[in-house]
């Protein structure tokens, strides 16, 4: 089963929900015209469908292999990566000063959805490089930017993120890797695990961003610094030179994403890998969070992408798999399973939640552009606050749904879904890492409650609630029609999210543990409510387009129907999370430790 980028829905979400026109009006984005954006999307769709998607299955079956310290990627990966570099795809959102195209992050996010849906095992190398570029661009010295960014932006070199160690998972305060100053550089020693594309054969150099401690650093996260540790030390002319003292010592054997090499990296076995300090000593974790926030949005987009891929395969299977009679007709002749009510329910659930995710993901990416480029500093700050609030929701809610939707895809296939040759199982296996990546989803919920809502007492979230209510006032509804159901869903969502936000803001102040016990239900409620709000916005556009006969009427009708399904079927159980989030604190710690 291949992949076809859903260009019609992508364009709709870009323009009508995320506001591509407003983004293109920001200083520096004037070249993001409709014609240019459409051309980029068309070319990306071709590369994703014809180049990446056919490699996905073999990537899963063959995987990456380690031979004498060299990682060989799956068949076809090195060749398609060269095609990516030649086409300039790595450079899309980056600074033209260093060879980037300076396009909006909104467009780059849309294109990234295609790469990840077509072949997530391949797409991970692009995701990590993007985050490493962002970190060096924000925090590197002028000399570091000049030396590394052009090569990384072109894709000739790739970047990685080296945080985790065997004794320190998410608790980075426990890191033991060391960096000792030696003239204009540092000697870095230590072991890092779970390093995505830490070694591979697709690019001529790999730029590792490594967290380590200097000898006199204090304990805890304040003692962590960030270092650039390249695989090959650059020569004066910018070409890769001497091999650095680092290597991949093993590859992990994983549930999924077999094509993506997950490396155990050893630094300094022969005296110390040469590393270069980024910024100031002791500020490494704050610098790395630039990369992690970039990656968290991208991992959320991976959840959306894998859901889309699973949905396309399930819908295709349902249209062709003949099984049992149509319960709505007397004719006993077997029909394709897409006619059966529960299969239709599953497909509608997949479709509606995917469209809600796409709307919220693109909306968040547009916020990044607004925060970067808006000429009014106060407006940019408020937009950044909203982006900061939304990123843990996008990361966690999208990746949870990616797992659920991939599982539903297996269910629609029935027994054949459990058989590897159909490919449905691969989507589920690949999706399972996403709620763990870049801080588990429990950590995202903790961040949402303990930092983002606590920071302003819920003011930013309540601003979104106000916009939800304002939209409900614009919806033109008649008794019993689609728009009435959609409007009622938006109003119910606004009420539940407002009550939940106020409760969380008060609980964080009174007793943090109580608030954290309900943090995951709160995040789920917030994501589902905000997704419904943006689907309602889509429905309003579709209603107006139908009234003026503007656009494809079948597409616009589907937007209304999907938004109504979401309001009536998806929202009610999610909004019922209000009870669990308020009650969890009473019972989560009620059992003694030894009773588990």
Give the DSSP letter of residue 165: B
Q: Beta strands of 8-141 (E only): which ranges?
A: 65-67, 70-72
Q: Quick one: tokens of 399?
A: 């990746």
By C-alpha distance, which of 543, 481, 568 is closest to 16? 543
- Please name the residues in contact with 201: beta carbons below 8 A apart, sequence gap of 6 or more: 70, 71, 72, 73, 78
Query: Is the Cβ–Cβ distance between 49 and 118 less than 8 Å?
Result: yes
Which residue has tokens 């016990």?
Answer: 517
Q: What is the pLDDT of residue 432?
A: 98
Contact between 585 and 513 (Cβ < 8 Å) = yes
Q: Tell me: the pLDDT tens digits for 72-95? A: 999 999 999 999 999 999 999 999
Q: Tokens 């290597």 identify what position?
A: 247
- Residue 266, φ and ψ in degrees, nearest 5: -115, 125
Residue for token pair 């040469």: 274
User: Would you say 514 and 507 are in contact if contact means Cβ atoms under 8 Å apart?
Assistant: yes
The residues pairing with 191 across neighbouring beta strands, listed in sequence order, are 266
Q: Distance between CA atoms of 506 and 527, rounded to whole angstroms?
A: 20
Cβ atoms < 10 Å from Cβ of 543: 22
Place of tokens 């995040």: 523
Residue 194's SS3 state is strand
DSSP letters for 341-402: HHHHHHHHHHHHHHHHHHHHHHHHHHHHHHHHH-SSHHHHHHHHHHHHHHHHHHHHHHHHHH
Which run of H or of E encompasses 191? strand 185-196
Region of 220 (left: φ > 0; alpha: ψ -120 to 50; beta: rest) is left
DSSP string across 78-94: HHHHHHHHHHTGGGTTS
- Active site residue: 182, 438, 495, 511, which one? 438
Beta bridge partners of 588: none
Question: CA-based angle 93:97:103, to the nearest 5?
Answer: 20
d(CA 324, CA 476): 41
CA distance linking residue 13 with residue 543, whole number of Å: 15
Instruction: Using the Cα atoms of residue 446, residue 452, residue 455 and residue 459 in order, give the sign of their dihedral.
Output: negative
Query: At residue 544, does pLDDT exceed 90?
Result: yes
* Phi and psi angles of residue 332, each rounded to the nearest 5 degrees, phi first: -80, 0
pLDDT at 289 (0 to 100): 80
Q: Which residues, 6+ apart, have CB-to-CB distance to 528 below 8 Å?
A: 356, 397, 493, 570, 571, 574, 575
Count the neighbouring beta carbons within 10 Å of the beta carbon of residue 163. Answer: 24
pLDDT per residue as tens digits for the range 243-298: 999 999 999 999 999 999 999 999 999 999 999 999 999 999 889 887 777 789 99
Distances (CA, A) of 388 to 13, 94, 517: 21, 20, 21
pLDDT-derived band at 174 (thresholds 50, 70, 90) equals: confident
pLDDT at 170 over 80: no
Does residue 169 register a pLDDT over 80? no
| 67 carries an active-site annotation | no
Instruction: Tell me which of 163-167, 465-469, 471-475, 544-548 is least confident.
Output: 163-167
Average pLDDT over residues 157-175: 87
- Please choose, from the candidates 38, 16, 24, the residue with its C-alpha nearest in 3D space to the C-alpha of residue 544: 16
Assigned CATH topology for domain 287-587: Butyryl-CoA Dehydrogenase, subunit A; domain 3 (1.20.140)
* pLDDT one-digit tens code per residue, 332-362: 999 999 999 999 999 999 999 999 999 999 9
Return d(Cα 356, Cα 377) in angstroms, integer: 30
The answer to whether the pTM exceeds 0.95 is yes
What is the C-alpha to C-alpha distance for residues 426 and 298, in angstroms, rounded to an integer? 20
Q: What is the largest CA-CA distance in the chain?
A: 85
Q: Rounded distance, CA 559 to CA 9, Å?
A: 9
What pLDDT is recorded for position 497?
98
Distances (CA, A) of 174 to 54, 131, 196, 228, 293: 42, 23, 21, 20, 21
Q: Which pLDDT does position 102 carry in this prediction?
A: 97
Contact status, residue 439 vs residue 447, Cβ threshold 8 Å: yes
Q: What is the domain partition of the chain in residue ranges?
A: 287-587
- Stretch 209-218: mean pLDDT: 94
Give the tokens for residue 423: 């490919």
Residues 6+ apart with CB under 8 A from 591: none
**Is residue 32 classed as helix, strand or coil in its secondary structure?**
coil
Question: pLDDT tens digits, residue range 465-522?
Answer: 999 999 999 998 899 999 999 999 999 999 999 999 999 999 999 999 999 999 999 9
Predicted local distance difference test score (pLDDT) of residue 167 = 86
Determine what percent of the chain is predicted with pLDDT higher than 90.
Answer: 93
């Amino acid at each position: 089963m291949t992949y076809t980028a859903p260009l019609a829905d992508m364009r709709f979400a870009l323009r009508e929900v995320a506001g591509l026109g407003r983004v293109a009006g920001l200083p520096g984005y004037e070249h993001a015209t409709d014609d240019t954006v459409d051309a980029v999307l068309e070319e990306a769709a071709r590369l994703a469908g014809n180049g990446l998607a056919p490699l996905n299955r073999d990537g899963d079956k063959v995987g990456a292999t380690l031979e004498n310290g060299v990682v060989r990627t799956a068949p076809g990966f090195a060749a398609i990566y060269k095609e990516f570099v030649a086409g300039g795809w790595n450079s899309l959102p980056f600074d033209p000063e260093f060879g980037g195209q300076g396009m909006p992050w909104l467009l780059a996010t849309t294109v990234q959805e295609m790469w990840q849906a077509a072949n997530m095992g391949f797409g991970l190398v692009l995701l990590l490089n993007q985050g490493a570029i962002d970190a060096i661009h924000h925090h590197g010295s002028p000399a570091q930017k000049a030396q590394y960014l052009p090569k990384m932006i072109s894709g000739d070199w790739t970047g990685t993120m080296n945080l985790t160690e065997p004794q320190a998972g998410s608790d980075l305060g426990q890191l033991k890797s060391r960096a000792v100053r030696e003239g204009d550089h540092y000697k870095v020693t230590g072991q890092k695990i779970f390093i995505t594309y830490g070694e591979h054969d697709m690019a001529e150099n790999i730029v590792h961003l490594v967290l380590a401690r200097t000898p006199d650093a204090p304990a805890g996260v304040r003692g962590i610094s960030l270092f650039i540790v390249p695989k090959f030390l650059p020569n004066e002319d910018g070409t890769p030179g001497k091999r650095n003292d680092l290597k991949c010592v093993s590859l992990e054997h994983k549930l999924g994403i077999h094509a993506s090499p997950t490396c155990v990296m050893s630094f300094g076995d022969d005296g110390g890998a040469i590393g270069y300090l980024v910024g100031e000593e002791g500020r490494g974790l704050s610098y790395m969070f630039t990369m992690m926030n970039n990656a968290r949005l991208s991992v959320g987009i991976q959840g959306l992408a894998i859901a889309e891929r699973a949905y396309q395969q399930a819908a295709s299977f349902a249209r062709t798999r003949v099984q049992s009679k149509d319960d709505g007709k007397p004719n006993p002749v077997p029909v394709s399973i897409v006619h059966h009510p529960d299969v239709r329910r599953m497909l509608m659930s997949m479709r509606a939640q995917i469209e809600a995710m796409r709307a919220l993901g693109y909306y968040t990416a547009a916020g990044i552009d607004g925060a970067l480029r808006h000429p009014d500093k106060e407006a940019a700050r408020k937009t950044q606050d909203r982006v900061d609030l939304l990123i843990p929701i996008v990361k966690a809610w999208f990746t949870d749904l990616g797992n659920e939707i991939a599982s539903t895809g297996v269910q629609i296939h029935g027994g054949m879904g459990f058989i590897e040759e159909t490919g449905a199982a691969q989507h589920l296996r690949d999706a399972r890492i996403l709620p763990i990546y870049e801080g588990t989803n429990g950590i995202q919920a903790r961040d949402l409650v303990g930092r983002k809502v606590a920071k302003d007492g819920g003011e930013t979230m309540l601003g979104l609630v106000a916009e939800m209510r304002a939209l409900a006032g614009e919806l033109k509804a008649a008794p019993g029609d689609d728009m009435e159901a959609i409007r009622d869903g938006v109003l119910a969502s606004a009420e539940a999210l407002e009550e939940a936000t106020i409760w969380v803001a008060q609980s964080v102040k009174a007793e943090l543990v109580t608030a954290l016990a309900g943090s995951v239900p709160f995040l789920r409620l917030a994501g589902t409510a905000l997704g419904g709000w943006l689907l309602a916005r889509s429905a309003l556009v579709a209603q107006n387009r139908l009234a003026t006969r503007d656009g494809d009427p079948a597409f616009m009708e589907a937007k209304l129907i999907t938004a109504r399904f979401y309001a009536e079927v998806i929202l009610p159980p999610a909004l019922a999370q209000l009870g669990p989030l308020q009650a969890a604190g009473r019972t989560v710690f009620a059992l003694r430790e030894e009773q588990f």
